[in-house]
Structure 1
């Protein structure tokens, strides 16, 4: 597995198939974490926001030791396709290093089914309880040996039958119902096999749900990210990262600043640099102030990600740009240099070229069964470790991009029109129904954050990514969106930030030159005005997951999942170009 996949696809608690066995990725406290080998990542704003001391790259496998990310066997139950026996893997008595049935010498097959709950717990499917709770138990039987057979009569679960040696049997029909297990008195056992035995959380009141072992619903990551912006992206702070804990501890212990200055001089962090020890000490104090102010004051503040304080700081920096950027800095943002006499496209207030950027993406937690709220709500996450671990796994990616903001005066006038207000209210009501169904705490999230402004920014980012993938040669999956939306913000950043070679081709910043942006925006809106699925697509009253899209499909607006912040929901191209009955719904209608 690639390191980035251990953040997005196969992180802690995720299921993974290796050859003829199935495993679950173990907790962080079992991961190899040798500081001497490097791998530590730092992004001060995100560190303090998430309450950790630092981040670490997922460890790489080092043959022949194979001591990278640890995994544990899960599920425990296996079946033999030959003799049909269904039992825990250890009960087969197979030889070490093999996974074959000793009776018929056939390769064992891990259980196709597991049970999980919304709190992140996961367990083997309760085959024994399923058979005997659906039938009258035979108390005279001395033993109960299970077999799993497929009758082959149909492709449904009715053909998958569990039989017991006590003559009881039951098919798996109905096992995937929302309350199928709860109705039989089967409760969640609070098991957390990724953390090992003895880590159960008894008393879980969530309904256990049956899932296929390879289902995408078995693991949803909760990731958080931040851009490195000044002053934290400057070369001085990069040199300070590994030494800050020492200097910070000395100041906490009351060591005089003159002594700390000597510590800085003797640390070697300023070797071959233009910085002085006094400047480094000022940077230490700057970092100490950030530690106090960066943590969110409440869950509400951390909720809607496009409007949270991390994004607000990035928005201000992207809007203002950087006057001077050193060679070793991680961030450089300047206005377009060519066509200075030309204004930005109609409807766009400002365009900035982000020639250098660094993004750190960290795995904060994960959920199961229900996908986390795409707007960054209060979805509870499962623990990544059993003990006290003061770091999170993360990856850093570097790239470039284009940042643009919308014309506030034109935007405010458009937001008062009935068309966009009505279409946004439809999705807002549906989103609030989803939040209510999931039991979202209304004290943390009083209502859905969906507004006409949000739909506009999100859909505009999608059509630009589609257009730029054709115009600049980038695959759409190599481009990402980053939205900035509140009453005082209306911006979006489209950037290349991928560890793949496609993220280093160069040329995205060229898309931000006024003349070229005007041309590509015109082309993107022309493409959005007609979809090969029209008229059904434009006339759709509901589409997408949980019906959270309107006029949006894979033929016009939807992107690869890696490019979108919200898993391809809250999209409506009518917000951009209007409808045949009401062209005024479109923000860009009447542009000149």
Structure 2
């Protein structure tokens, strides 16, 4: 990561633009550039703090060699782009990489206790030290943000002068210099003290600055600051209430990630050269002659990268994936249609005769007898021997949970519309299994089961409505009995395989398929490193091994070291009661492994409760 170039434009020899030689400020992994330190996030490097710049200049600063294109047509179509790009490498020989800007600009000196803008300390070039004291400057611990995604400096001057006449036009313009010190008496905000040399106001602490209405009471509203886009970005008055946040808080930046599996007929890479042309091809999808004429226009005649029959097949597959129902389906409807197609392909698999050397999706039926899984209520295990997943950073949010956000609260990654988004790809393997529909249907209709799932649904729906601008338009909660069951089963299987097969839990990930017409779960390798990429996970999908793993996982879930509190509580773990019998001692996973942020879990739906063991889907397994 590197900061932006200086404003003064310099020229090289013969008036040409000079080669960039920007100072480097640390490194991050490519995966972190999507999930942790993406555009708009704050990065702490040693004693300095930066914000990752937007993508408007990335086409120029990201090298094609270090930041190659990634193609995944199904996901690109969902997100309205033509392709994706891998974040640039951070090797010793890499070029600019990801650019960053210093933020927050407000710093303090622990020696002279001055609190002012970084440039006012007159630091030497390339260093962040006080020009007078020659000690490292400390970035402001506090920033302000609004729910629309804007980010700004904490208004220290208005805060210290808040006892003055608020109607005075000179409020905060006293001309004094701010100072910041710590009393050291406690570790609370009461010990962080701010003063002004004007002498008109007393020294005040930061206590109370995190109250929801603290800045509103000062008459401050969001002004639409977007520091990741630079000072030249237009700042439109936002007007939303501002909230004070710790610079390192997770609420400062939350990624909006979307992912898709590469499935046939898109998984062999042959359609990649047509990226950017699909929208025009779709307008001609029912006319082979028009499609042929278009291909002749963009490629040399007779030298197409794919045959006409293949193009027509791809267009037909894309049309089948269109969301049914409304003429103008919402993003959620289209994303659900994408998942439906994946479920169909995982369920049917692909025969060996369909495999080519470039095939990125290989899903086969186990050769051994599957009847051993019948007593468990599990059916249709599939061995996913080759798998490719593309995860793209669509946008980001502040203060608002990315899982419940709406487009209005998602902050884009660039000022201008781009034809691509940053993404990463994971190649690995996995195990797919389904629950027996007949047994599952009878189980989820049981009154006790429905009542327990209803408690989770009610708590989650209340949480969604509280976080929505308009409660009547809140996203409906997916917490059905089968969804909670599948989610908890995936968690206990990941925990079991992390113990039995030697996989780190963080290297495995779940992908749930829970709807009226779906009841499946895919557990697959979730990292781009070598953990679990040598066939070990696929071997766990063989019926005998899977039977043993499920039985062991269910018996393990029967008991928790936090019982009876974990099992009998009205709402353990999770936020606002969105979990029941679930905690970090039993079924919770690392955040990278879970699709739903470790909520919507209930161990009792697997194994039952001491008072009613029959509500567990696997109660018959435990009875033996």
TM-score greater than 0.5 by the shorter chain: yes
Equivalent of 1:550, from 559, 564, 580? 580
Provide the rounded CA distance (Å) in 2 between the counterparts of 1:133 and 1:27.
Answer: 35
Do structure 1's residue 575 and structure 2's residue 575 form an aligned pair?
A: no
Alignment of 1:196-345 (within 5 A): 196-233=230-267, 235=268, 238-245=269-276, 257=292, 260=295, 277-282=307-312, 285-286=315-316, 289=319, 293=322, 301-303=330-332, 308-323=336-351, 324-339=354-369, 342-345=372-375
Q: CA shift at 1:282, angstroms?
A: 3.5
Do structure 1's residue 160 and structure 2's residue 207 form an aligned pair?
A: no
Alignment of 1:33-432 (within 5 A): 33-35=62-64, 39-61=68-90, 66-136=95-165, 143-167=175-199, 168=201, 169-233=203-267, 235=268, 238-245=269-276, 257=292, 260=295, 277-282=307-312, 285-286=315-316, 289=319, 293=322, 301-303=330-332, 308-323=336-351, 324-339=354-369, 342-373=372-403, 380-432=409-461
Count of residue correspondences: 581
Provide the rounded CA distance (Å) in 1 between the counterparts of 2:337 and 2:124.
Answer: 56
Contact 1:265 1:277 in 2 (8 A): no
Contact 1:550 1:572 in 2 (8 A): yes
SS of 1:512's partner is: coil
Contact 1:372 1:379 in 2 (8 A): no
Contact 1:344 1:351 in 2 (8 A): no
Provide the rounded CA distance (Å) in 1 between the counterparts of 2:325 and 2:126.
Answer: 49
SS of 2:44's partner is: strand
What does the per-residue CA deviation read over 1:422-462, in whole Å, with 9 as the maximum and x for residues that have no partner? 22111111112212211254565463221111110100000
Contact 2:513 2:519 in 1 (8 A): yes
Provide the rounded CA distance (Å) in 1 between the counterparts of 2:152 and 2:569.
Answer: 40
What does the per-residue CA deviation read over 1:139-158, in whole Å, with 9 as the maximum and x for residues that have no partner? 69862210001111222111
Q: CA shift at 1:388, angstroms?
A: 2.1
Contact 1:351 1:403 in 2 (8 A): yes
1-10 or 13-22, which deviates more: 13-22
Provide the rounded CA distance (Å) in 2 between the counterparts of 1:380 and 1:203.
Answer: 15
Contact 1:190 1:204 in 2 (8 A): yes
Provide the rounded CA distance (Å) in 2 between the counterparts of 1:122 and 1:96.
Answer: 26
Q: CA shift at 1:263, angstroms?
A: 6.6
SS of 1:508's partner is: helix
**So what's the TM-score if we normalise by structure 1?**
0.91
Q: CA shift at 1:416, angstroms?
A: 1.5
Contact 2:109 2:138 in 1 (8 A): yes
Provide the rounded CA distance (Å) in 2 between the counterparts of 1:298 and 1:570.
Answer: 32
SS of 1:410's partner is: helix
Q: CA shift at 1:490, angstroms?
A: 0.9
Contact 1:333 1:353 in 2 (8 A): yes
SS of 1:312's partner is: helix
In the alignment, what sits opposite 2:17? none
Q: CA shift at 1:198, angstroms?
A: 4.0
Contact 2:62 2:96 in 1 (8 A): no
Contact 2:323 2:333 in 1 (8 A): no
SS of 1:436's partner is: helix
Q: CA shift at 1:227, angstroms?
A: 0.3
Contact 1:577 1:586 in 2 (8 A): yes
Q: CA shift at 1:545, angstroms?
A: 2.3
Contact 2:370 2:379 in 1 (8 A): no
Provide the rounded CA distance (Å) in 2 between the counterparts of 1:263 and 1:206.
Answer: 48
Contact 1:378 1:441 in 2 (8 A): no
Q: CA shift at 1:17, angstroms?
A: 1.4
Q: CA shift at 1:340, angstroms?
A: 5.1
Provide the rounded CA distance (Å) in 2 between the counterparts of 1:548 and 1:318.
Answer: 30
Contact 2:70 2:84 in 1 (8 A): yes
Distance 1:256-1:316 versus aligned 2 partners, 3 A rule? closer
In the alignment, what sits opposite 1:500? 529
Distance 1:545-1:150 versus aligned 2 partners, 3 A rule? same
Distance 1:421-1:564 versus aligned 2 partners, 3 A rule? same
572-581 or 503-512, which deviates more: 503-512
Contact 2:83 2:275 in 1 (8 A): no
**So what's the TM-score if we normalise by structure 2?**
0.87
Contact 1:264 1:280 in 2 (8 A): no
Provide the rounded CA distance (Å) in 2 between the counterparts of 1:297 and 1:84.
Answer: 61
Contact 1:345 1:518 in 2 (8 A): no
Distance 1:109-1:244 versus aligned 2 partners, 3 A rule? closer
SS of 2:550's partner is: helix
Do structure 1's residue 453 and structure 2's residue 482 form an aligned pair?
A: yes
SS of 2:161's partner is: helix
Output the aligned Cα RMSD.
2.9
Provide the rounded CA distance (Å) in 2 between the counterparts of 1:198 and 1:588.
Answer: 60
SS of 1:394's partner is: strand
Provide the rounded CA distance (Å) in 2 between the counterparts of 1:5 and 1:461.
Answer: 24
Q: CA shift at 1:289, angstroms?
A: 4.9
Contact 1:187 1:207 in 2 (8 A): yes
Do structure 1's residue 587 and structure 2's residue 617 form an aligned pair?
A: yes
Distance 1:102-1:299 versus aligned 2 partners, 3 A rule? farther
Provide the rounded CA distance (Å) in 1 between the counterparts of 2:545 and 2:150.
Answer: 51
What does the per-residue CA deviation read over 1:198-232, in whole Å, with 9 as the maximum and x for residues that have no partner? 43553324321111111111110010000001111
SS of 2:429's partner is: strand
Contact 1:548 1:569 in 2 (8 A): yes
Distance 1:49-1:382 versus aligned 2 partners, 3 A rule? same
Provide the rounded CA distance (Å) in 1 between the counterparts of 2:517 and 2:523.
Answer: 20
Provide the rounded CA distance (Å) in 1 between the counterparts of 2:329 and 2:461.
Answer: 16
31-40 or 318-327, which deviates more: 31-40
Q: CA shift at 1:418, angstroms?
A: 2.1
Q: CA shift at 1:61, angstroms?
A: 3.8
SS of 1:546's partner is: coil
Distance 1:448-1:134 versus aligned 2 partners, 3 A rule? farther
Distance 1:251-1:120 versus aligned 2 partners, 3 A rule? closer
Distance 1:460-1:341 versus aligned 2 partners, 3 A rule? closer
In the alignment, what sits opposite 2:24? none
Provide the rounded CA distance (Å) in 2 between the counterparts of 1:155 and 1:531.
Answer: 35
Distance 1:6-1:446 versus aligned 2 partners, 3 A rule? closer
Provide the rounded CA distance (Å) in 2 between the counterparts of 1:38 and 1:123.
Answer: 30
Do structure 1's residue 9 and structure 2's residue 36 form an aligned pair?
A: yes
Provide the rounded CA distance (Å) in 2 between the counterparts of 1:223 and 1:364.
Answer: 6
140-149 or 213-222, which deviates more: 140-149
Distance 1:156-1:225 versus aligned 2 partners, 3 A rule? same
Contact 1:404 1:492 in 2 (8 A): yes
What does the per-residue CA deviation read over 1:378-436, in whole Å, with 9 as the maximum and x for residues that have no partner? 67210100112111000111111111111111111111212221221111111122122
